[in-house]
Amino acid sequence: MYPSPGRRAGLLHPWHRRHGGHPALLRRRAWWRLWTAALAFACGTGVAAAQHAHGQADTTRQEPEGSAAVQAAMGVNITPGAHLVLTGARIPTAADSARALAVADTLRGAIARFRDTALALREGFRPFAPNVKGQKVLHYTRWAAALKEAFRFDPAQPTSLLYVREGDGRLTLVGAMYTAPRRVSETALDQRLPLSIVRWHRHVKLCLPPKGEEARLAERRDGQPLFGPDGMIDDEAGCTAVRGRWFANLFGWMVHANVYAGRDLASIYGEGEHHH
């Protein structure tokens, strides 16, 4: 089929002029809107996920607005409280233990090559909030993997790699993090990793300082922190009153697997002493 005279001359149909330009440009815009929406759906985070997805279309450089505040909110012990939800405890069985060990063994073998962070970068992992100083554990995240994890669980394809910074500045690979949308039920999470062994967690009801005012994380009232994971604010009205940014849910479900801690399940999946 031959193109119309208008197309041969490089002219746009009036409909295209009214709706934003050349058809190819419109297709790219539609593709990007679809990708952003899919990532937001996958991470189960609403606005926060959309903020994550404002980077490049190849998902290689996405960070939320106010990464310092978000990272600070995640830098806490994994213990239940007003700002943290854990999956319910279950009685472990021998089959559960075997399944959890099998996942850890698969993951250990799959990520061993990423001891070299240069290789991790080449394969699409990017450090989350790289400008935030003092992080105890660094997350190298591949957002395309997070999208896939919304629809399936592959032990060899985690969302994030976890590194610890040594005293000499080197990064040591310690494990990885799996994620799932917050809409996923505990039954479905148990099918991924047994809940009798693993406690998936979500960050909830967080009030963070306004963008550009991360120094306010140190703000206190009556001797208690005002903002963040230890903050006294756990409702939207209180957050609005101090000009904060309210996150009813900050990301979806997540769990760390510290597979280089040995083969003891409590060391691999026990996050009570582990920090984000």
Residue 273 has pLDDT above 60, yes or no: no
Lowest mean pLDDT among 71-85, 144-158, 174-188: 71-85
pLDDT the model gives residue 105? 97
Q: Is 206 left (phi over 0), alpha (psi -120 to 50) or beta?
A: beta
pLDDT digits (tens, 9 = 90+) for 216-227: 888 999 998 898
- In angstroms, the CA 219 to CA 214 distance is 10
Can you tell me whether residue 33 is helix, strand or coil? Answer: helix
Check if the beta carbon of residue 42 is closer than 8 Å to that of residue 147: yes
pTM across the whole model: 0.71
- In angstroms, the CA 226 to CA 232 distance is 5
- Residue 62 DSSP one-character state: -
Name every residue whose Cβ is closer than 8 Å to that of residue 80 and which is 6 or more positions away in sequence: 86
Distances (CA, A) of 27 to 16, 20, 62: 12, 11, 22
Average pLDDT for 73-101: 82
pLDDT digits (tens, 9 = 90+) for 13-58: 554 455 555 555 545 444 434 333 444 444 443 333 333 332 322 3
Can you tell me whether residue 70 is helix, strand or coil? Answer: helix
Check if the beta carbon of residue 208 is closer than 8 Å to that of residue 73: yes
Amino acid present at 105: D
φ and ψ at 224, to 5 degrees? -110, 145
Tokens, residue 195: 């809940």
Check if the beta carbon of residue 126 is closer than 8 Å to that of residue 61: yes
CA dihedral 99, 100, 101, 105 (to 10 degrees): 100
Residue 4 has pLDDT above 50, yes or no: no
Q: What percent of the chain has pLDDT over 90?
A: 45
pLDDT the model gives residue 197? 96
User: Hey, where are the domains in the chain?
Assistant: 48-269
- Closest listed residue to residue 225, CA positions, set 115, 16, 43, 76: 76
pLDDT digits (tens, 9 = 90+) for 227-253: 888 889 989 999 999 999 999 888 899
Check if the beta carbon of residue 244 is closer than 8 Å to that of residue 233: yes
Check if the beta carbon of residue 114 is closer than 8 Å to that of residue 161: yes
pLDDT the model gives residue 56? 29
pLDDT the model gives residue 265? 95
